[in-house]
Amino acid sequence: MKESKKWICVFCGSAVGARAEFAAAADNLGRAIAERGYGLVFGGGSIGLMGVAADAALDAGAEVFGVIPDLIMDCEVGHNGLTELCVVRSMHERKAMMANRADAFIALPGGFGTMDEFMEIVTWAQLGIHSKPCVLVNVAGYYDPLLRFLEVAVEDGFIRHENRGLIQVAQTPSEALEMIECAWGRREDVPAHDERMDELVK
């Protein structure tokens, strides 16, 4: 039986950032997702790194699924060229729908929103709500301060050592996808669809 398509959820900025490496990484990730035959799940915006990753994936032939709350349709400029764009009522519904569709999560550089989305999904993994891989792409050392904080949190007893491993760290988009594929290979006994995630979108 043919395996169903896998989807990669990408969290990233609604701005392109101050360094050219950020947009280049978003473009490379979108294209790499398409080249591997995966679908892209993201926040539905057409601007910033979100738009760069989505456009690259579409250009390379991937299906792209976006989810955007109606209250930020204007400021994040909903992408009208996607395979599917869902307009939802709240940020919670957005995050839950993205999480439910995805088989893995990648965070590129971003700000408050990116950190909120990625850290919430890591927290859900810590709580056993899902067992999907979570990878941070440390483009040009952008997340070095965050990684130092995580080590301090472990040392000071706020994050268990084994839970620190829930966040894998890659230097490039290709490395991130290789980490995800490796994790999938180790989890062949885990169902592709986790019913626990359905509870998040009710």
pLDDT at residue 78, as a whole number: 87
The structural domains of the chain, with segments of one domain joined by +, span 7-187
Pull the structure tokens for residue 30.
């979108």
The pLDDT assigned to 200 comes to 59
Q: Looking at the domain that runs over 7-187, which CATH code has it been given? A: 3.40.50.450
pLDDT averaged per 10 residues in sequence order, the chain, 202 residues: 78 97 98 98 96 98 96 82 94 95 98 97 96 98 98 97 96 97 74 55 52
* Res 191: pLDDT: 43
> What's the confidence (pLDDT) of residue 193?
46
For residue 77, the model assigns a pLDDT of 86
In this prediction the pTM is: 0.91
